[in-house]
Amino acid sequence: MNILLLSTSDKGGAANACVRLHQGLLAIGESSKMLVLKRTRAEEPEIHRFLTVYEPTSLFKKIKKAPRVIAFNRKRAKQTAGRPTNEMFSFFDTLHDITQHPLYEWADVINIHWVANFLDYPSFFSKNTKPVVWTLHDMLLFTGGNHYEKNFPFAAYQDLIQSNLALKKKAFANQNFTIVCPSNWLHQAAKAQQGLYPKAQHRLIPYGLQTEAFVPQDQAAARALFDIPVAQKIILFVAASADSLRKGINHLIDALPYLKNQNIGIAIMGSNVEKLNIDFPHIYPLGYINDIHKIAAAYAAADVFVIPSIEDNLPNTVIESLCCGTPVVGFDIGGIPDMVIPGKNGEICPTIAGKPLAETLQRALQTTYDTTWIRSNALERYGLEVQAQTYKELFEELVN
DSSP letters spanning 137-183: SSSGGGSSSBS--TT--HHHHHHHHHHHHHHHHHHHTT---EEEESS
Contacts 24+ apart (CB under 8 A), 288-294: 288/240, 292/210, 292/213, 292/214, 293/213, 294/225
Whether residue 214 is contained in a domain is answered as: no
Whether residue 71 is contained in a domain is answered as: yes
Grouping H, G, I as helix, E, B as strand and the rest as coil, residue 47 is: strand
Q: Are 326 and 300 in contact (CB under 8 A)?
A: yes
Q: Are 90 and 119 in contact (CB under 8 A)?
A: no
Mean residue pLDDT of the chain comes to: 94
CA nearest to 152, candidates 161, 142, 141: 161
Q: Are 350 and 330 in contact (CB under 8 A)?
A: no
Instruction: Assess whether 287 and 182 both reside in one domain.
Output: no
- The 10s digit of each residue's pLDDT in 241-293 is 888 889 999 999 999 999 988 999 999 999 988 888 898 999 999 999 989 99
pTM listed for this prediction? 0.91
Instruction: Assess whether 359 and 392 both reside in one domain.
Output: no
Instruction: Assess whether 27 and 106 both reside in one domain.
Output: yes
Q: How far apart are CA 400 and CA 144, in angstroms?
A: 33
Identify the bridge partners of residue 349 per DSSP, sorted by sequence position. Answer: 331
Task: Read off the CATH number of the domain in which 55 is found.
Answer: 3.40.50
Residue 210, pLDDT score: 87
Residue 270, pLDDT score: 92
Whether residue 213 is contained in a domain is answered as: no
Instruction: Assess whether 359 and 284 both reside in one domain.
Output: yes
Task: Using the predicted structure, report yes or no on whether residue 336 has a pLDDT greater than 80.
Answer: yes
Whether residue 171 is contained in a domain is answered as: yes
Whether residue 107 is contained in a domain is answered as: yes
- The 10s digit of each residue's pLDDT in 15-66 is 999 999 999 999 999 999 999 999 999 888 999 999 765 556 665 566 666 7
Whether residue 108 is contained in a domain is answered as: yes
Task: Using the predicted structure, report yes or no on whether residue 347 has a pLDDT greater than 70.
Answer: yes
Instruction: Assess whether 27 and 78 both reside in one domain.
Output: yes
Percent of the chain whose pLDDT exceeds 70: 96
Q: In what order do the strands lie in the sheet with 132-135?
A: 47-49, 31-38, 2-9, 109-112, 132-135, 178-181, 201-204
Q: Are 272 and 242 in contact (CB under 8 A)?
A: yes
Q: How far apart are CA 247 and CA 188, in angstroms?
A: 21
- The 10s digit of each residue's pLDDT in 213-240 is 899 999 999 999 999 999 999 999 999 8
- The 10s digit of each residue's pLDDT in 281-323 is 999 999 999 899 999 999 999 999 999 999 999 999 999 999 9
Whether residue 225 is contained in a domain is answered as: yes
Instruction: Assess whether 229 and 368 both reside in one domain.
Output: yes
- How many angstroms separate the Cα of 269 from the Cα of each of 284, 291, 365, 373? 9, 12, 20, 25
Residue 277, pLDDT score: 83
Residue 64, pLDDT score: 62
The backbone torsions φ and ψ at residue 134, rounded to the nearest 5 degrees and listed phi first, read -115, 110
Instruction: Assess whether 241 and 192 both reside in one domain.
Output: no
Which domain, by its residues, includes 244?
Answer: 219-382
DSSP code of residue 206: -
From the CA atom positions of the chain, what is the Rg in Å? 22
Instruction: Assess whether 176 and 194 both reside in one domain.
Output: yes
Q: How far apart are CA 120 and CA 6, in angstroms?
A: 12
Beta strands 31-38 and 264-271 are: unpaired
What is the dihedral sign for C-alpha 365, 370, 375, 381? negative
Q: Are 145 and 37 in contact (CB under 8 A)?
A: no
Whether residue 340 is contained in a domain is answered as: yes
Instruction: Assess whether 202 and 243 both reside in one domain.
Output: no
In the chain, the number of structural domains is 2
Residue 60, pLDDT score: 59
Grouping H, G, I as helix, E, B as strand and the rest as coil, residue 48 is: strand
Instruction: Assess whether 253 and 149 both reside in one domain.
Output: no
- The 10s digit of each residue's pLDDT in 132-148 is 999 999 999 999 999 99
Type of residue numbered 39: R
Instruction: Assess whether 72 and 162 both reside in one domain.
Output: yes
Compute the average pLDDT of residues 80-93.
91
Instruction: Assess whether 124 and 167 both reside in one domain.
Output: yes
Task: Read off the CATH number of the domain in which 253 is found.
Answer: 3.40.50.2000
Q: How far apart are CA 189 and CA 200, in angstroms?
A: 14
